[in-house]
Amino acid sequence: MSTSTDQSAVTVLGLGPMGRALAGAFVAAGLRTTVWNRTPGRDGELLKRGAIGAGSAAEAVAASPLTVVCVVNYDASDSVLRDEAVTAALKGRTVVNLTADIPDRARDTAHWAAAHGIRYLDGAIMTPTPTIGTPDAVFIHSGPTELYREHRPVLDALDGTHTHLGEEIGRAAGYDIALLDIFWTAMAGYAHAVAVARAEGITARDLAPFAQGIAAILPPLFEEWADDVDNGSFSGELNPITSTVSSMAHIVHASEAHGIDASVMRAAEGQARRVIALGHGTDGYMRVTELLGRR
C-alpha cells in the first residue's frame, strides 16, 4: 500500500480522558477521526461531534494511514498493537505512540514495529488534558525525522508546541521521565510542606502565595545549575552543600517533632551528607547528581 499521508484522516486508540481530548482536537480540526477503546461506551460524545467509531482495533487502524495511541502504559499499548489482526492491518502505516512509559519500552516497540513493516514515532504529552487543542499544549516526539515531518501537519491539529528531539526513539520517553521526576518530587515536597505547616497552625491557603514565591525561584536556578552539571563545576560559592544539609536537618527535626514522616527529606539529607563525606563540602547542591550517577 502507499505510505503517503492522507492529511484528513487519523485514528485514535485509547479513549481515556487524554485520548478523548486528542480525538476531540482532531475532530475539531476537521480531520476524519476514527476512534476505538477496549472498554466500550467512551466514544459517545465524540461520535456526536463527528468521529467514526470502529468495531475493533484492527478496523480502526485500517481506516487511517496514521494511528495515534494514548493508553495507560506500554503493557496496554502492546496488548492492542501486537494483536495479530492489528499488526497485519498496520503494515505500511504509521503509529505515533503518545503513551507514557520508560525509554527501553519505546525502543522495544520500535524494534517490533520495524520487524512488521510498521513505521513508528514515539512521543509524550507534557501538559494536562484541558490544554489539548489549545496553544498551551506541549508535545515531544522522537524517531525518524522524515517520518515526523510527513505527519506533522496532522499532529499540528492538536495545537500547542511540538518538538522533535531527535531520531533516537527513546529520547522523548527519556525527557518525559526526567520531567515527570521534577514534577512529582516537587509535588511530594509540597504535600510534605503543607503537612508541616498545618501542624504549626498554618493553613494551606495561607502558605500558597509564599509557596508560589519559592517556585518562582526555581527556573533561573535550573538554568544556572544546568551549566554547573554539564561543566562539572558544581559551584557552592553562594550556598555550599554544608549549608543545605543544615536546613534539611531543621526540616527533618521539625517534621518528626510533630510525628510527620520525614523519610523523603531524610533521604535527600543523607545524599547531601555523602557528598560532604566525599570531600565536596564547599560545592553546591548539584554535586549530588554526580553521586546519584555512580554505579
Check residue 194 and report its DSSP letter. H
3-state secondary structure of 260: coil
Q: No. of H helices and E strands in the chain?
A: 12, 8
Domain ranges of the chain: 9-173, 203-292
Q: How far is CA 37 from the centre of its chain?
A: 22
How far, in Å, are 142, 162, 264 from residue 148 at the CA level? 8, 10, 40
The whole-number pLDDT of residue 197 equals 98
Q: Count CB neighbours of 65 within 10 A.
A: 22
User: Which three-class secondary structure state does DSSP give residue 52?
Assistant: strand
Query: How far is 162 from 33, CA to CA, in rounded Å?
Result: 20
What is the fold, at CATH topology level, of the domain defined by 203-292?
A: N-(1-d-carboxylethyl)-l-norvaline Dehydrogenase; domain 2 (1.10.1040)
Query: Model's pTM, two decimal places?
Result: 0.92
Name 161's bridge partners.
Answer: 138
Per-residue pLDDT at 8: 83
Burial class (CB in 10 A: 0-12, 13-18, 19+), 133: buried
Q: What is the gyration radius of the CA atoms in the chain, in angstroms?
A: 23
- Own/partner long-range contacts of 196-199 (Cβ < 8 Å, ≥24 apart): 196/251, 196/254, 196/255, 196/258, 196/260, 199/258, 199/260
CATH for 9-173? Answer: 3.40.50.720
> Concatenated DSSP letters for 158-170?
G-SEEEE--SSTT
pLDDT per residue rounded down to tens, the chain (295 residues): 333 345 689 999 999 999 999 999 999 999 999 999 999 899 999 999 999 999 999 999 999 999 999 999 999 999 999 999 999 999 999 999 999 999 999 999 999 999 999 999 999 999 999 999 999 999 999 999 999 999 999 999 999 999 999 999 999 999 999 999 999 999 999 999 999 999 999 999 999 999 999 999 999 999 999 999 999 999 898 899 999 999 999 999 999 999 999 999 999 999 999 999 999 999 999 999 999 988 6
